[in-house]
Chain A
Amino acid sequence: MSEKTISVNKFLTPFNLVAGIILLIGAVITVLRFTQGLAGVTNLSDSNPWGIWIGFDLLCGVALAAGGFVTSAAVYIFGMKKYHSAVRPAILTGFLGYALVVFALHYDVGRPWRLPYPFIVQPGTTSLLFEVGACVALYLTVLFIEFTPAAMEWLGLKKARNIVVRLTLLLTIFGVVLSTLHQSSLGALFLIAPSKLHPLWYSTYLPVYFFVSSIIAGLSMVIFESTLSHHYFKDKMDNTHLTENTDVTLGFGKAASLVLAGYFSIKMVGIAASDNWHYLSTGYGLWFLLELLGFVALPCFMYAVGVRDRNVTLIRWTSVVAILGVVLNRFNVSLIAFNWHLPSSERYFPHWMEIMTSVFIVTIGILVFRFIVTKMPILYAHPDYKETH
């Protein structure tokens, strides 16, 4: 077999084939979206102007990318150095998450070339959407700078890399402040629609709920991502990363369990403060209980048992449940419990091309993650900089 045939066979793996087909379909939908407008590829309407591109790509994307600020705050602000090996993968996941959120916004916004308008044309500083836009733009920049040392080590740019590394603490503080602001503001966006969002999900505490649940999502994503890296990129991990992997899983599992317990508590306070107990016996109430008991209380308990028994496998499976819980919550707030009073004929259900676009965007994220992890020192310390880690 010639060398060329071997390299072609190596490239034609089932994963690459599926990813290639998804990219092809995504490219066609992209052309349709930008030639025929939103109506050509979505089921969006005046009653439902926000679909899954906001509910999933943006709300879930931002929440699940919270691992970056959570991990860097734990290591650089709270001094938990034993989790240091988790910082670079978490920053990379966060950076790609936010980059894809902005990428997805170009599909969702009617006139995407106007995305920078709030900064230059119309200040609108009293708008929550302006605050979200400003924070996401700034935080994406922060994440990019935080990610660059790995790229610079790969490219051999020693001096530039050393300058950026000196900014680590400053960037971490920026990251925490900006994340606190926009994670909560995404929840606050829904405060404007008390008559549209079901009372069980509508609460004046929505900004707090969104912020606290983003920490759960961030912690769980770090566990989930490290599990996948451990499985698929084990050959790329050095000894430090391999041995610290268990510490990261146990430590983050414990933190996630405690934050879930706090989240469960404040959700109870929210129901009591609005006196919404009577809604619990309705259909929407049962759905709410499923979210609260099945995807908050249950993972909280599972994490706790996993940490007590030092059962890493249980903690890893629990991270999947917790992530699904945050996704379900964002879907409930933005789609399922939104416009709940409308007749079913007027309710929104995503067009298959909307779903495919989201799959396309997630696939791009996975492929870029794989490329970076394969090429750059993300899961191992670069030999030239080992002493500086």
Chain B
Amino acid sequence: MEGSFYTLQDFMAYTKLVVYLIMVAILFGITGFWLFLSERDADQEPEEHQNKVQHH
């Protein structure tokens, strides 16, 4: 047979593969982002916190 054609099965297999890879990246990415977002929380004591707030 000349040329090639793609079935719905091919399409689903391809897109699912990409989605699964993105999901793995999201799992690591969101975890890293959460650490980035909250890593300074522990350093902030309640008393300190009022003083450290920046109002420009």
Question: Which residue of A has the minimal Cβ distance to B33?
Answer: A261
SS class, residues of chain B in contact with chain A: helix
Residues of B within 8 A of A235 (CB): none
Residues of B within 8 A of A308 (CB): 36-37, 39-40
Number of B residues with CB within 8 Å of any CB on chain A: 25
Alpha-carbon separation in the docked complex, A308 to B52 (Å) = 11
A273 touches B55 (CB 8 A): no
Known: A258-B34, A269-B23, A304-B37. A310 touches B54 (CB 8 A): yes
Q: Does A272 contact B (CB under 8 A)?
A: yes
Q: How far is the CB of A244 from chain B (nearest CB, A)?
A: 11
Residues of B within 8 A of A268 (CB): 22, 26
Q: Does A318 contact B (CB under 8 A)?
A: no
Residues of A within 8 A of B56 (CB): 311, 313
- In-complex Cβ contact of A312 among B11, B38, B40, B54 (8 A): B54
Complex interface residues of chain A between 251 and 271 (CB less than 8 A to chain B): 254, 257-258, 261-262, 265, 268-269
Alpha-carbon separation in the docked complex, A273 to B14 (Å) = 9
Alpha-carbon separation in the docked complex, A265 to B29 (Å) = 9
Question: Which residue of A has the minimal Cβ distance to B23?
Answer: A269
Question: Which residue of B has the minimal Cβ distance to A262?
Answer: B30
- In-complex Cβ contact of B37 among A258, A273, A310 (8 A): A258
A272 touches B33 (CB 8 A): no
Alpha-carbon separation in the docked complex, A261 to B29 (Å) = 9
Q: How far is the CB of A80 from chain B (nearest CB, A)?
A: 15
Q: Does A240 contact B (CB under 8 A)?
A: no
B52 touches A272 (CB 8 A): no
Q: Does A238 contact B (CB under 8 A)?
A: no
Residues of A within 8 A of B19 (CB): 269, 272-273
Complex interface residues of chain A between 58 and 102 (CB less than 8 A to chain B): none
A254 touches B15 (CB 8 A): no
- In-complex Cβ contact of B15 among A258, A274, A310, A313 (8 A): A274
SS class, residues of chain A in contact with chain B: helix
Alpha-carbon separation in the docked complex, A272 to B29 (Å) = 17
Residues of B within 8 A of A257 (CB): 37
Q: How far is the CB of A40 from chain B (nearest CB, A)?
A: 48
Contact with B along A223-267 (1 / 0, CB 8 A): 000000000000000000000001000100010011001100100
Q: Does A275 contact B (CB under 8 A)?
A: yes
Residues of A within 8 A of B38 (CB): 254
B22 touches A310 (CB 8 A): no
Alpha-carbon separation in the docked complex, A304 to B20 (Å) = 27
Complex interface residues of chain A between 296 and 341 (CB less than 8 A to chain B): 304, 307-313
Other contacts beyond A275-B15, A308-B36: 15, CB < 8 A: A246-B53, A250-B53, A254-B38, A258-B34, A268-B26, A269-B22, A272-B19, A272-B22, A275-B11, A275-B14, A304-B36, A308-B40, A310-B44, A310-B52, A311-B54
Q: List 7 tightest A-B contacts by C-beta distance, closest first.
A: A313-B56, A272-B18, A265-B26, A311-B54, A272-B19, A310-B53, A275-B15
Sampled A-B contacts (6; CB under 8 Å): A265-B22, A265-B29, A272-B15, A273-B19, A310-B44, A311-B54
Contact residues of B with A, CB < 8 Å?
A: 11, 14-15, 18-19, 22-23, 26, 29-30, 33-34, 36-40, 44, 49-50, 52-56
